[in-house]
Amino acid sequence: MNGELGFGALAFVLVGFPALRVVSSRDLVRAVLWLAVTLLGTAVLYALLSAPFLAGVQVLTYVGGVVTLMVFGVMVTRKHAGNTVPVEAANRLRGALAALGFFAALAWAILRTDLSGFPPVSTPSTQELAQALLDRYLLPFEVASVLLLAAIVSAVVLARRRDPAPDPASPVERRGLGEGSTP
Amino acid sequence: MTLRALLLVATALFSVGIYGLLTRRQAVALLLSIEVMANAANLVFVAFARYGGAPGHPLVLFALAVTVAEVAVGLALVLLLYRRHGDTLLELASEAKG
C-alpha cells in the first residue's frame, strides 16, 4: 500500500501535474513546454516498466520532433506576445464534469476488476522487438511508412496551397506565401 | 508500482486530455490535449506488456508513427486556418461544414 502511495506521488509529479498545466495554461507556448515535460515523465514511466527502447524513442520522436513542430505551429500562428486563450466558466465546468465522470466510471471498472491474472513478466529486449517488427509485424511496419509519407506530402500540399478565394477583409491573407511558392 | 495504479494513472491522464479537449477553443491547444490522451493510451499498452506479456511494444511504436502523422497534418490545417482568418480559434473552421 505504501508503495502504491509512493508511485501515485511519483506519477503525479511526473505526468499528472504537467498534464494539468497543459490543459490550463493560458499561454500556448507554456502549454507546449508543459506537454514536453509530460512526455518526458511518460518516458521515465516507460523506463520503470522495463521498456528502455520505447523510452528512448519517446524522447527522440515526441520531445524532439512533435514538441518542436508544436512550438513552430504556435509561434507561426500567434498574433502577439500575450496571446491568451479565453475560456468560459460554464464551458470549464461542463468539461470538468465530463472528465470527472469519465474518470469515475473507468476507475470504478478498474478497481472492481480482478487483475491478479496479470503477473509481471519479462519484456522483449530491443533485439527481440526489432525482430518482431521486421518479421511478424512487417506489413503494419510498411503501412506505417506509407502513412508517414502520405502525411508529409499532404502537410506540404496543405501548407503551401494558394487560397482560391482570398478574403480581402483579412490583411494576413497573403502572408506566408513568399517567393518560391509554386502556383 | 502495480498494474492497477498504472491503469489509474493512465485513466487520469486521459481524463485530463478530455477536459482540455472540451474547454479549449484554440486549434493548437486541442492538438496538445489529443497528444496527452494518446500518451495515456500508450502508457496502458506498455503497462500490459510488462504485466501479462501482451505484445504492446510494437503497438506503441505504430501508435507513435500515427500520432506524428496526425500532428503534421493537423498543424498544416492550423496554418491554413490562420492564413484564411488571421487566428486559430476553432469556431472559425465552421465553414468546413457540409
Task: pLDDT band for A174, please (50, 70, 90 cuts).
Answer: very low
- Under 8 Å CB-to-CB from B19, ≥6 apart: which residues? A23, A95, A96, A98, A99, B33
What value does the mean pLDDT take over residues B37-58?
88
In angstroms, the CA A123 to CA A143 distance is: 25
Instruction: Kindly report the nearest CA distance between residue B94 and chain A, in angstroms.
Output: 16
Model pLDDT for residues B8-19, shown as the tens digit of each residue: 999 999 999 999
Task: pLDDT band for A113, please (50, 70, 90 cuts).
Answer: confident
- Amino acid (one-letter) located at A54: L
Decide if A125 touches B, using CB distance below 8 A: no
Instruction: Kindly report the nearest CA distance between residue B92 and chain A, in angstroms.
Output: 13
Model pLDDT for residues B48-63, shown as the tens digit of each residue: 888 887 888 889 999 9
Instruction: Kindly report the nearest CA distance between residue B13 and chain A, in angstroms.
Output: 7
Number of other CB atoms surrounding residue A113 within 10 Å = 11
pLDDT at res. A25: 82
In angstroms, the CA B44 to CA B35 distance is: 14
Closest CA to B67 of B28, B40, B34: B34
Closest CB to B20 among A22, A119, A141: A22
Task: pLDDT band for A65, please (50, 70, 90 cuts).
Answer: confident
Closest CB to A123 among B33, B50, B62: B50
pLDDT at res. A167: 54
Pick the CATH number of B3-96 from 1.10.357.10, 1.10.1660.10, 3.40.50.12160, 1.10.287.3510: 1.10.287.3510
- Under 8 Å CB-to-CB from A120, ≥6 apart: which residues? B50, B51
In angstroms, the CA A106 to CA B22 distance is: 18
A80 dihedral zone (left: phi>0; alpha: psi -120 to 50; beta): beta
pLDDT at res. A166: 54
Q: What percent of chain A has pLDDT over 70?
A: 80
Q: In degrees rounded to 5, what are phi and psi of residue A167?
A: -95, 110
CA torsion sign for B62, B65, B71, B76 is negative
pLDDT higher at A32 or B81? A32
Alpha carbon separation from A13 to A58, A78, B13, B68 (Å, rounded): 18, 30, 12, 26
The domain limits of chain B are 3-96
A162 pLDDT more than 70: no
Q: At what angle do helices A28-48 and A17-24 cross, to 10 degrees?
A: 160
Reported pTM = 0.83
